[in-house]
């Protein structure tokens, strides 16, 4: 795995990125992961965005949402969440739909969704579970 980061990523985030990548097994995979810490809000006021395919993934983390700074905890949880999506892309579990905006393939099955129910899709359920798991492991690691 080749990781490139924007120049403005603080040390604590670099350490967490490495921790999350190790936890998710991303270092064992092939591909390019491009990580950007946005200096402002992301589209639709998202905490993070991730898109890609088996060879290349782009990831953005917001530093602001609705004009206010995003907390350190929320940034780290978002990194873990979006890194989970990166892994899903790299291993081919999640494949974006090519013709329909709200359609993707999950483990070879077509999944249709709307923005209102996207949080219920299998890739989001997994990402939420792992964001919390990785963050809690990080806290234990940092306090031990």
Model confidence band, residue 101 (pLDDT cutoffs 50, 70, 90): confident
Instruction: Report pLDDT for 40.
Output: 83
The pLDDT assigned to 42 comes to 92
Chain segment 41-79, per-residue pLDDT in tens: 898 889 999 999 999 999 999 999 998 999 999 999 999
- pTM value is 0.94
pLDDT tens digits for range 4-46 = 999 999 999 999 999 999 999 999 999 999 999 998 889 888 9
Residues 6+ apart with CB under 8 A from 12: 72
- Contact between 51 and 33 under an 8 Å Cβ cutoff? The reply is no
Q: Quote the CA–CA distance of 83 and 141 in Å, as a whole number.
A: 19
Predicted local confidence at residue 117, as pLDDT? 93
Determine contact, residues 31/55, Cβ cutoff 8 Å: yes
């Amino acid at each position: 795995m080749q990781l490139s980061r924007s120049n403005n990523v603080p040390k604590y985030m670099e350490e967490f990125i490495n921790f999350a990548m190790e936890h998710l097994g991303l270092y064992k995979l092939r591909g390019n992961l491009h990580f950007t810490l946005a200096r402002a809000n992301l589209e639709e006021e998202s905490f993070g965005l991730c898109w890609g395919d088996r060879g290349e993934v782009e990831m953005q983390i917001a530093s602001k949402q609705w004009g206010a700074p995003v907390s350190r905890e929320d940034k780290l949880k978002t990194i873990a969440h979006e890194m989970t999506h990166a892994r899903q892309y790299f291993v081919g579990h999640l494949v974006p739909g090519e013709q329909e905006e709200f359609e993707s393939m999950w483990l070879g099955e077509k999944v249709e969704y709307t923005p209102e129910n996207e949080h219920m899709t299998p890739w989001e359920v997994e990402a939420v579970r792992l964001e919390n798991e990785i963050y809690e492991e990080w806290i234990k690691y940092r306090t031990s």
